[in-house]
Amino acid sequence: MSYMSIPRTGCQYRFTPMDWQFIIESLGMSERGKASLASLCDDPDSVRSILDHPKLFDAVAVQRRAAMLSPTLFFFVVVRHTLKRIGVEDLQVADYLAVVCAEFGMPTSRQVHAQADKMSLYSVDYLEALDQARGTEKFFIHVKCANQFMVLTCLYPDYLHHRAERRGAPDVDFYEGVVMSHLHAAGHHVLAEEFALEEVLLRLSDAFPPVRRAMNHTLREYLSLGS
């Protein structure tokens, strides 16, 4: 576990030129409108309003025009829309969850299952690692565990359901609790303040049950990431 395990938040600063072009083409109603949007993209406050526009989510998820987008833009738009729909307005929470999802990416179904199978030893591997870890190492273990199961519970709940039915393994509700407990532990660790993650980890921990359910709803309604 290392510094590299910490998500690099700040999605809008890592959008690609193609991402910005997609945003402008999706929201600009005319050539003049597109030019105006392009000029606003240099202003962080304006960008936040632009990214919250319902038409952008429609272009990404409903019209399915996002094939060439970066995972960062794709997940930021999807997560931000989903969380605002349930009243979670905190931009930092949406940004963190989007980064975690984007770093996992959108692998094939086989890759998802292989990764999930490796994580099925959580009760042995992670708890043993925590027992053996020194103070600072525990923070990175908490973050990595929370993030891995956050992705699985938010994006691949059907896999966890099927696995529970076939093997008697823990279902989504169990892993939801795992995510909350590790986010909470990480948020109270001294390194959380150093990485400026204390507030977002604790807020996400408190909001995670409805966040997870809302993400599952969006997945069922609009997305197909493998099952």
> How far lies 134's CA from each of 129, 130, 131, 141, in Å?
10, 8, 8, 11
**Which of the residue ranges 67-71, 120-124, 189-193 has the most confident prediction, judged by mean pLDDT?**
189-193
Average pLDDT over residues 8-25: 89
Query: Given this model, what pLDDT does residue 160 score?
Result: 87
Query: Given this model, what pLDDT does residue 120 score?
Result: 46
Inform me whether the pLDDT recorded for 47 exceeds 50. yes
Looking up tokens 């966890």, which residue turns up?
Answer: 160
**Which of the residue ranges 132-141, 152-161, 186-195 has the most confident prediction, judged by mean pLDDT?**
186-195
Residue 174's closest CA among 186, 188, 160? Answer: 160
What DSSP letter does each residue of 85-128 carry, written as one string? HTT---HHHHHHHHHHHHHH----HHHHHHHHHHHTTHHHHHHH
Query: Given this model, what pLDDT does residue 39 score?
Result: 81
Are 107 and 226 contacting, i.e. CB atoms less than 8 angstroms apart? yes
- pLDDT tens per residue across span 109-147: 445 555 555 454 455 567 777 778 887 888 998 998 899
Average pLDDT over residues 181-204: 95
Inform me whether the pLDDT recorded for 54 exceeds 60. yes
CB proximity list for 198: less than 8 A, separation 6 or greater: 187, 188, 192
Mean pLDDT of the chain: 84
Helix (H, G, I), strand (E, B), or coil: what is residue 157? helix
Average pLDDT over residues 158-175: 86
CB proximity list for 150: less than 8 A, separation 6 or greater: 97, 100, 179, 208
- pLDDT tens per residue across span 194-225: 999 999 999 999 999 999 999 999 988 887 66
pTM here is 0.87
Average pLDDT over residues 37-61: 86
Q: Which two tokens stand for residue 104?
A: 């996992």
| CA-only gyration radius of the chain, Å | 18
Domain ranges of the chain: 3-16+70-222
Are 157 and 172 contacting, i.e. CB atoms less than 8 angstroms apart? yes
